[in-house]
Amino acid sequence: MDSKVMQAGLNELIETLKDGQKGYAEAMTDVEGADLKDLFKKYAAQRASYITELEDQMFKLDLKPDEESSITGTIHRAFINLKGLVTSKDRHAILAECERGEDYAKAAYEKAQKLKDIPADLKSVIEKQAAGIKQAHDEIRGLRDAAK
């Protein structure tokens, strides 16, 4: 595989994870309900650990993580509307926005899993993280559905 293609794909994943981490961290500080605060804290920490894992893999492969936040200029900011929703304290709306972010994260991992000729260690990390993202999505969706 072309290392530039792999690097771009991994940087897109990292950017998606950073968006999620930031979104959950912001939501955690403002949302009402200890259950959501704890959940958002857990997922913000999960995203931070996933970023570290991917960056470690990139360094092992002599690839550079982007220092800037502009991989393609069109990266979707999945959690962009979360701050406004948190201030309204609407549990269902907050969870729906989080699920939208999780949908985007799932799609990013599905795309990354289609990268060709990636080393086994990296493939294993991506698959493990994709499973964690799917679990987070399903948990958020379940809470959203229960909040109707």
pLDDT of residue 83: 58
Q: What is the pLDDT of residues 84-136, one digit of tens each?
A: 555 567 788 888 888 888 998 999 999 999 988 899 999 999 999 999 999 99
Q: Which pTM was predicted?
A: 0.87
Rounded to whole angstroms, how far apart are CA atoms 148 and 75? 30
